Structure 1
Amino acid sequence: MTKEANLAATERWGAEVASAGRYDVLDEILAPSFVDHDPAPDQTPDIEGLKGFFRTMRMAFPDLKAEPVEITASDDHVAMRYTISGTHQGKFQGVAPTGRSFKVAALQLARFENGQCVERWGSTDELGMLKQLGILADVAG
Structure 2
Amino acid sequence: MSLTAEQNNAICVEFFETAWNTGVVREDLLASDAIDHSQVGGKTVTEPGSASFKGIVGMFRGAMPDAKLSIEDQIYVADKVVHRWRLNGTDTGGVMGMPPSGKSITLTGTTTARMKDGKIAERWANVDELGLLQQLGVVPPPPGAH
TM-score grouping bracket, smaller chain normalisation? 0.7 to 0.9
1:140 Cα deviation from its structure 2 partner: 4.5
Does structure 1 retain, via aligned residues, the 8 Å contact 2:37–2:46? no
Q: Does 1:2 align with 2:4?
A: yes
1:63 matched residue in structure 2: 66
Give secondary structure in 2 for the equivalent of 1:99: coil
Task: Compute the TM-score of the two structures, normalised by the length of structure 1.
Answer: 0.88
Q: Which has the higher strand share?
A: 2
Give secondary structure in 2 for the equivalent of 1:127: helix
Does structure 1 retain, via aligned residues, the 8 Å contact 2:12–2:81? yes
Structure 2: runs of 5 or more not aligned:
none
Partner Cα distance (1:2, 1:45) in 2: 27
Does structure 1 retain, via aligned residues, the 8 Å contact 2:38–2:46? no
1:76 matched residue in structure 2: 79
1:57 Cα deviation from its structure 2 partner: 1.0
Q: Does 1:11 align with 2:21?
A: no
Superposition CA RMSD, Å: 2.0
Partner Cα distance (2:38, 2:24) in 1: 21
Does structure 2 retain, via aligned residues, the 8 Å contact 1:62–1:86? yes
Percent identity, please. 30
1:121 matched residue in structure 2: 124
Task: Compute the TM-score of the two structures, normalised by the length of structure 2.
Answer: 0.85
Structure 1: runs of 5 or more not aligned:
none
